[in-house]
Amino acid sequence: MNQYYPKNGRVILHVDMNSFFAAVEMAHDSSLKGKPLAIAGNPEERKGIVVTCSYEARKFGVKTTMTVWEAKKLCPQLIILRPNFHRYREASSAMFSILRQYSNLVEPVSIDEGYIDITDSSEYGTPIEIAEKIQKQLIQELDLPCSIGIAPNKFLAKMASDMKKPLGITILRKRDVPEKLWPLPLIEMHGIGKKTAEKLSSEGIEKIHDLAKANDIRLRHLLGIRGLQLKERANGEDKRKVDPESANDYKSVGSSLTLPKDIANQHELLAYLKKLSEETSNRLKKKEYYATNVSISIRYKNRQTITRSRKLQNPINKAEDVYAAAKDLFLKHWNGNPVRLLGVTGQDLVEQHQAVEQLDLFSYEKEAKKEPLYNAMEMLREKFGEHAVTKGVSLKGRTHQPTPKNDNEPT
């Protein structure tokens, strides 16, 4: 058995539930099994957005983010259901309870996926035997399918779980990286989104192999320290541990500003608050996070400081949404006295792919319509500077604009 569990290395599984929302609905109502099914907001409306769909629906070309009208055109017999988030959370809780039967080192990363460090779990069998037991138990007890990646680190385990769906079990060793990962397009690498892939592609870095062999100075210039981290991943290296407590971390991204003078004018204070909300939004987007909680800090002339927060119904990272939450908090809790410092912070962060799953579907549809506008504005800012495009409250006439400091960014 020792040959399967290295003395100095780790054995990590990544368990990824297959078409989770649709699978939960099928487990709840067996009459849906084997049929093309999609979960979507406002299914009665042509412009409702598909959030997930069954593999039977995917055979017809139905995809996530497609409108209900487009999906129905491809698959007229498509069954569309509204989401039941309470049902999905219960299924997720049951799923993670099963994983913890095999190891105490279980790290949830979203509602339907997580890592398990099974290095010290040899009593349950070989890594493949454990993966098979987990897969079988999830089917027998919850009627939910999953794919599992087995690897010496988290990155490779995640990549492995994506290689065979549904109901796949894939082993990916570091020595397999040149053959199995390097030929893949960069966009298929975990941790690289569309914008990062486009930025790297503009420099001739098209495949994972290109990233693995890229010049360090060039990568740092393009992406900062994150570029070097991505290069390590492309070479199969990942030192992150499976951390059961990471799901409880209250990571935050925010900006605060000591005002050039004590201010009691509401209009001026809201202008600063809007600027800080935009800074916070930009940092959230840069790190590909969404906030599920917004807090503000107000320090008065007498140095009394208050902090107030608000739990949000949906994850956000748009400046207008951050500002709306911050403004509401400020107007409720500002006592009218002169203010010396203001701060806006996004808290309880989730990664971008997790946020899409958690978004209220009506809000998601509205944001999808705005996306071309946001993209155009970001392109203009990148080309002509951060202040090339602005909207809303103006800071015109301000004589001094100190650079806001960055508080509590996630590491």
Binding residues for Mg(2+): 16, 112
Name residue 80's beta-bridge partners: 38
Task: Quote the tokens at residue 211.
Answer: 């990233």
Give the residue among 17, 10, 247 at the shortest CA–CA distance from 150.
10
Instruction: Out of 56, 107, 113, 279, pick the active-site residue.
Output: 113
CA distances to 31, 75, 140 from 79, rounded to whole Å, are 11, 9, 25
Task: Quote the tokens at residue 67.
Answer: 């409108």
Length of the chain: 411
Give Cα 297 distance to the centre of its chain.
26
Q: Is 113 a catalytic residue?
A: yes
- Element holding 296 (H helix, E strand): strand 289-300
DSSP state, residue 91: H
Reported in sequence order, the residue ranges of 6-105 that DSSP labels E, i.e. its strands, are 12-17, 37-40, 50-53, 79-81
Q: What whole-number distance in Å separates Cα of residue 155 and Cα of residue 240?
A: 9
Task: Quote the tokens at residue 395.
Answer: 């800071």
Using DSSP, how many helices (H) and how many strands (E) does the chain show?
A: 15, 13
281, 322 contact by CB (below 8 A): yes
DSSP sequence for 254-295 = EEEEEEEEEE--HHHHHHHHHHHHHHHHHHHHHTTEEEEEEE
Q: Angle formed by the axes of helices 266-286 and 319-333, to 10°?
A: 140
- Element holding 39 (H helix, E strand): strand 37-40
Of the chain, the end-to-end C-alpha distance in Å amounts to 37
CA atoms within 13 A on the CB side of 348: 13
Place of tokens 């199995």: 180
Instruction: Cite the active site residues.
Output: 113
